[in-house]
Amino acid sequence: MATPLKGDAHPINQNGWPDAYPAPSTTNFDQLEPSVLASWLQEAEGKVPGVDYLVVDVRRADCEYLIPGAINLPAHSFYQALPSLLPLLSRVPILIFHCGNKNTRGFRCAGWLADELKASDRYAEGNQQQDGKVKIYVLKGGYNGWEKEYGVQDIETRGRRQSEKGDVKAVPL
Q: Which pTM value belongs to this model?
A: 0.86
Burial of 145 (0-12, 13-18, 19+ CB in 10 A): middle
CATH of 21-157, one of 3.40.250.10, 3.90.230.10, 3.30.565.10, 3.30.230.10: 3.40.250.10
Q: Say whether pLDDT at 135 is over 70.
A: yes
**In one letter, which amino acid is 68?**
P
Give 144's contacts (C-beta < 8 A, 6+ positions apart).
Answer: 100, 101
Tens digits of residue pLDDT in 116-131: 999 999 998 876 677 8
